[in-house]
Structure 1
Amino acid sequence: MQITIAYDEDRSIPVPVLPVAERATWAEQTAAAFAARVGGGDQLRQGVASALDRLTALADDDSRLLLLIGADGAMLAPLLLFVVPHELDEREQADFLWQPSALLPPTPTVITTTHLGTGFSSGLAQREDGADFSTRRWLFFGSGMTVAALLGPVAPLGLGLVEAIADALLAESWVEGFVPREDVAKAQRLDALASPAQEGWRLGAASGGATAG
Structure 2
Amino acid sequence: MPARTQLRVGRIARAHGLKGALKIELYTDDPGRRFVPGARFALQVPTSSKWHGKSIELVELRVYNGSPVAFFKGVGDRTEAETLVKAVLWVEQDATELPTEPDAWYVHQLAGLEVWREGERVGRVVRVDAMPAQDMLIVEIAGDEVMIPFVKAIVPEVDLRAGRIVITPPLGLLEDLEEEAPTEAPAATEPEVADAEPSAPAEADDASAPDTSETADDERA
TM-score bucket (shorter structure): under 0.3
For normalisation by structure 2, the TM-score amounts to: 0.21
Higher strand share: 2
Structure with higher RCO (Cα < 8 A, 6+ apart): 1
For normalisation by structure 1, the TM-score amounts to: 0.22
Larger Rg: 2
